[in-house]
A = this chain, B = another copy of it.
Amino acid sequence: MKFTTRKKEIIFTAAKLFRKKGYSAVSMRDLAQALDMKAASLYNHINSKQEILSIIILEVAENFTQHIDSVLPQEASSIEKLESVIENHIKITVEKTDALACLNNDWMHLEQLALENYLQMRNTYEAKMRSIIEQGIKEKELKTANIELVLFSLLSTLRTLYLWYAKNRTVSIKLLTNEMKQNLLLGIIL
């Protein structure tokens, strides 16, 4: 992996460590050692450990926000919109595995503005997903069911897909995408 700046290298490495042990269990000394430098030197590139976490998480959160904002106003069926959401989750899972894991597991260690910012993006994302599901039920494309549980069933699998992908990196994205659409939308019973 090549980096344009030392700061990006630090953030990339931090995401890898945070994913394995969690934000709280990784010390600045651990991070420095992984980069073959001393902890004090990190502070020439970043202001605090907290800043590293917020950069990692908010960047991924913004990726999700941008995608759902582009999908929602489209003239498309609810199923097409859900498929596009699934594709985007898989894209982020593949391209930003470590950062996605941090977002999932360490968001509660964000502070102040970064935490508010994250929670606001997450709430908005879920509200927009909910409206797609409601559209689908109204237009008789989706089964009439508990909307909150349908929303959760979809998101829980998509959010944690990185756990599966980490152990199965050789799978083709096309196969992964098709199978996930099948499983999530059509179920597994013949």
Identify the A interface with B (CB < 8 A).
20-22, 24-25, 79, 105, 108-109, 140-143, 145-146, 148-150, 152-154, 156-157, 159-161, 163-164, 168, 175-176, 179-180, 182-190
Contacts and interface: CB of A to CB of B under 8 A. Distances in A.
30 contacts: A20-B108, A21-B108, A22-B22, A22-B109, A105-B105, A140-B190, A141-B190, A142-B188, A143-B188, A145-B179, A145-B182, A145-B183, A149-B176, A149-B179, A149-B180, A150-B188, A152-B163, A152-B164, A153-B157, A153-B184, A153-B188, A154-B188, A156-B156, A156-B160, A156-B163, A156-B164, A183-B187, A184-B187, A186-B187, A187-B188
Nearest to A108: B21
A141 B189 contact: yes
